[in-house]
């Protein structure tokens, strides 16, 4: 059972279907690991053991009667502490919301529960989901499990979700991504994370930060797992009007079993490393080049092409949009110095205090223009291979939280309206490396299909830390 907690959902689901594993035993295994390791890792802010075991027993009963709800039935998940579960605490990682409980269950959570998922608990996060490093000075910063000697950052803002999956405290987790908050902790923790296009998954019942850019999505062991979870959560919801005006094609990750070149016909663009905002260190450049080589070997047409965008400018614009919308929601809390709030998050929101309506509207116009340009530029391309992060997980001690080092290759996806898949791609000094695939809006299936093919010929996603 110790090994089973690190299996992808695809494998766990097969074991459940074959009767070789029960959902209760699997849930108990994750709960035992949470009890053993969470005090050190701080991945969970709340654990719902009794409810989880009851949900698992119900899943076993359904399977025993031949009524399994699908491949997610009986699979234990963690959910970020901004996803409402009726009657449960909902604090978005902030002491300013202490005592608040969710009046309703978020639509996306209802869909997961309806598919039979077992909810283990709420995962730790950066206050109000505004921070890439994963630091939470008031509730504690989760510990990156890849270094037992040094407390390294987990990445944020879905910090606890990333740590929970990497450390075998959940089969997968749900995070949110406004400027990289799913992909950054996924990449720093060596797991797979999917940022869906805005409007693909309902945000009803979730704590808001930035309505323009907020998205929910999966953090999992594999691209196949991410596709399964995304497919369950996605779809139109009258409670979130954005979903009613967003294309909602099915999300699937098709395989071509037995074919030596399963990506034949796919066109993937790469970037000349010399045109990046700063040079990638050798290990990062090697991971990028090796991924491109794998794609060619799988039959894809891979060609280099200059970007018509300024990555650093887009990164800055995303930060400004988040600040403006976050400040508009939480200005009373932010401006009151007596409220229990971390200084770094407070300062990020206060950055919008002097922003004018004209400033904000210009950002929105630039965002819409970038989305149109991206759609046109991607017309004959299935995906853009992007670097992951330019650094590995940094030590928490001495960290400069004002640095945007983790955001240069993540935030542009949000500004462009792209979907994006973060994939493990190697290690440097024992710490995970990663790459990303950017895709067209609402074309998650394309990047997921590429991700599945890559992971069928590599094993980076199957490696896990030794705790």
Q: Residue count of the chain, please give it.
A: 467
> Is 158 a catalytic site residue?
no
Residue 323 known to be catalytic: no
Q: Two tokens at 257?
A: 């079993």
SS (H, E, C) 372-384: HHHHHHCCCCCEE
- Sheet harboring 44-47: ordered strands across? 44-47, 118-123, 76-80, 172-176, 216-220, 192-195, 419-428, 431-439, 383-387, 267-270, 301-304
- Pairing label, strands 383-387, 267-270: parallel
Whole-number Å distance between alpha carbons of 342 and 157: 14
Question: Rounded to an integer, what distance in angstroms lies between the CA atom of residue 464 and that of residue 167?
Answer: 7
Catalytic one among 13, 22, 157, 197?
157
Residue bearing tokens 């399963």: 262
Annotated catalytic residue 181: yes
User: 435 phi and psi, to 5 degrees?
Assistant: -130, 170
Burial 57-67 (b: 16+ CB within 10 A, else e): bbbbebbeeee
28 DSSP β-pair partners: none
Pairing, β 76-80 against β 172-176? parallel
* Active-site residue identified among 94, 158, 176, 181: 181
Contact between 253 and 451 (Cβ < 8 Å): yes
Name the strand (E) or helix (H) holding 173: strand 172-176
**Beta-bridge mates of residue 220:** 172, 192
Secondary structure class of 77 (helix, strand, coil): strand
Give the closest residue to 467 by CA, choosing from 169, 171, 172, 167: 167
Please name the residues in contact with 75: beta carbons below 8 A apart, sequence gap of 6 or more. 9, 12, 13, 16, 23, 26, 116, 117, 118, 171, 172
Report which DSSP code applies to 149.
S
Q: How far is CA 108 from CA 1, 210, 283, in A?
A: 29, 18, 38
Of the candidates 80, 111, 195, 266, the residue annotated as catalytic is 80
Q: Which residues are catalytic?
A: 80, 157, 181
């Amino acid at each position: 059972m110790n090994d089973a907690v690190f299996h992808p959902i695809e494998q766990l689901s097969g074991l459940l279907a074959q009767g070789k594993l029960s959902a209760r035993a699997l849930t108990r295994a994750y709960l035992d690991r949470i009890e053993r390791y969470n005090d050190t890792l701080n991945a969970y802010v709340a654990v719902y053991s009794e409810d989880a075991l009851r949900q698992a027993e119900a899943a076993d009963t359904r399977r025993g009667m031949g009524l399994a709800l699908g491949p997610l039935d009986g699979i234990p998940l963690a959910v970020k502490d901004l996803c409402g579960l009726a009657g449960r605490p909902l604090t978005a990682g902030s002491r300013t919301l202490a005592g608040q409980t969710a009046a309703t269950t978020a639509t996306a959570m209802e869909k997961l529960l309806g598919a039979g998922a077992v909810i283990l608990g709420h995962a730790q996060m950066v206050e109000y989901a505004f921070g890439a490093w994963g630091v939470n000075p008031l509730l504690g910063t989760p510990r990156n499990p890849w270094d037992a000697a040094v407390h390294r950052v987990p990445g944020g803002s879905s910090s606890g979700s990333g740590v929970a999956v990497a450390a075998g405290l959940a089969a997968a987790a749900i995070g949110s991504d406004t400027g990289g908050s799913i992909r950054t902790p996924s990449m720093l923790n060596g797991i797979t994370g999917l940022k869906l296009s805005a409007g693909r998954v309902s945000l009803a019942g979730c704590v808001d930060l930035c309505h323009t850019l907020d998205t929910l999505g999966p953090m999992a062991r594999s691209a196949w797992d991410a596709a399964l979870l995304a497919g369950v959560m996605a779809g139109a919801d009258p409670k979130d009007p954005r979903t009613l005006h967003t294309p909602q094609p099915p999300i699937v990750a098709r395989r071509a079993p037995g074919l030596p070149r399963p990506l034949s016909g796919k066109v993937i663009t790469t970037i000349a490393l010399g045109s990046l905002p700063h040079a990638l260190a050798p290990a990062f450049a090697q991971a990028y080049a090796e991924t491109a080589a794998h794609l060619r070997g799988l039959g894809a047409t891979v060609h280099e092409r200059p970007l018509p965008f300024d990555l650093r400018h887009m990164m800055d614009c995303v930060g400004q949009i988040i600040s403006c919308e976050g400040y508009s929601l939480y200005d009373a809390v932010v401006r009151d110095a007596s409220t229990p709030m971390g200084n770094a998050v407070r300062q990020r929101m206060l950055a919008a205090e002097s922003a004018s309506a004209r400033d904000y509207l210009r950002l929105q116009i630039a965002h819409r223009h970038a989305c149109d340009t991206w759609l046109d530029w991607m017309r004959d391309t299935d995906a853009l291979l992007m670097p992951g992060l330019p650094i590995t997980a940094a030590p928490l001690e001495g960290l400069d939280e004002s640095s945007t080092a983790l955001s240069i290759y993540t935030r542009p996806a949000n500004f462009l309206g792209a979907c994006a898949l973060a994939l493990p791609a190697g290690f440097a000094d024992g710490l995970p490396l990663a790459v990303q695939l950017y895709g067209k809006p609402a074309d998650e299936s394309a990047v997921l299909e590429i991700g599945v093919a890559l992971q069928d010929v590599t094993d980076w996603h199957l490696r896990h830390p030794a705790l």
